[in-house]
Structure 1
Amino acid sequence: MNDLALGSIPIEKIEPGMTVRYSQTISDADIKAFAGISGDHNPVHVDSEYAERSRFGKRIAHGLMSAGFFSALFGTKLPGPGCVYVSQTLVFKRPVYIDDTVTAAVTVTKVDKEKGRVFFDTTCTVRGKAVITGNAEIFIPKSKS
């Protein structure tokens, strides 16, 4: 499929199969910052001793932090600035640990030009394995020109 690195793509040029990706390595500082911003101080994310006794064996990143990478792709690359989330489904398949590199990808599945809606498959992977899957619907407002 097409792997784009563009921004502000008009709906008339968006086609099924178009894909963009973003990768980030998760750090301890990222997890602490996300806990501070979200208010989610679940000890499985922020307390090493607690997390060692959990089913995960060590601290894990907040799932919504990785899912947030989809928003970054939509708002900056495809479709780009000005678009608005309508909906997002998320299935959390595996944990993400400190020092894991998460790659988020969004792929266009359908375009409704009349309603200004674009539909996507969304996936986050770590070392080639899906950690989050889902679907999104994005609205592209008509320009005021």
Structure 2
Amino acid sequence: MLPLVQQGDTCSRSVRFSRDDIATFARLSGDSNPLHHDQQAAQRARHGEIIASGEHTTALLIGLASSHFSQPDAHGPREVLCLNFNFAFKAPVFAEQAIELSWKVASVEPHDRLGGLLVHLDGKAAVRHASPSVVGRGTLLIKSAQP
């Protein structure tokens, strides 16, 4: 039988942020930077248009990892605990761009004391065929939810 998670496993999701999505997320997360909601301020700034906040993109990346790896598999239900995530911002994420969010399992190691697997992930958010806008690493604890 295959393990709960294997090195090389992947997950991905395509997203597109509208200007309203960007402004709403920034407001709800307490980010009042005008680059996320004020078209005139954004046009005067370095990138020339509305950009998503870093926390917007990374929240969706974390959500993708948590959602994907908590889905039941051939072993049955799984439990996931997000232990650590680190991100680097390489380029802006603009409104109305199709962005591909993805994670790849870099390594898996059993952890007897925690009763599961430590799963190390490499991730990114990128416009198709372009360099990543955001790169990340994460560590999850995954275990069978079977009693």
TM-score normalised by length of structure 2: 0.83
Number of residue equivalences: 135
Identity of aligned residues (%): 26
SS of aligned partner of 2:69: coil
| Structure 1 segments of 4+ aligned residues over 6 angstroms from their partners | none
Q: Which residue of 1 aligns with 2:42?
A: 51
Mapped contact 1:66–1:102 kept (Cα < 8 A)? no
- Asked if the contact 1:63/1:92 (under 8 Å) is kept, the reply is yes
Contact 1:125 1:131 in 2 (8 A): yes
Which structure's CA Rg is the greater one? 2
- TM-align CA RMSD: 1.8
> How far off its partner does 1:141 sit?
4.8
Taking structure 1 as the reference length, what is the TM-score of the superposition?
A: 0.84
1:144 to partner: Cα distance = 6.2
Q: Which residue number in structure 1 is paired with residue 94 of structure 2?
A: 97
Q: Distance in 2 between matches of 1:61 and 1:70?
A: 13
Distance 1:105 1:132, change over 3 A: same
Q: Report the equivalent of 1:5.
A: none
2:79 partner SS: coil
C-alpha contact (below 8 Å) 2:69/2:142 kept by paired residues: no
Determine if contact 1:22/1:69 at 8 Å carries over to the other structure: no
- Decide whether aligned partners of structure 1 residues 137 and 62 sit closer, same or farther in structure 2, where only a CA change above 3 A counts: same
Structure 2 alignment gaps of length 5 or more: 72-77
Q: Is the 8 A contact 2:66 2:82 kept in 1?
A: no
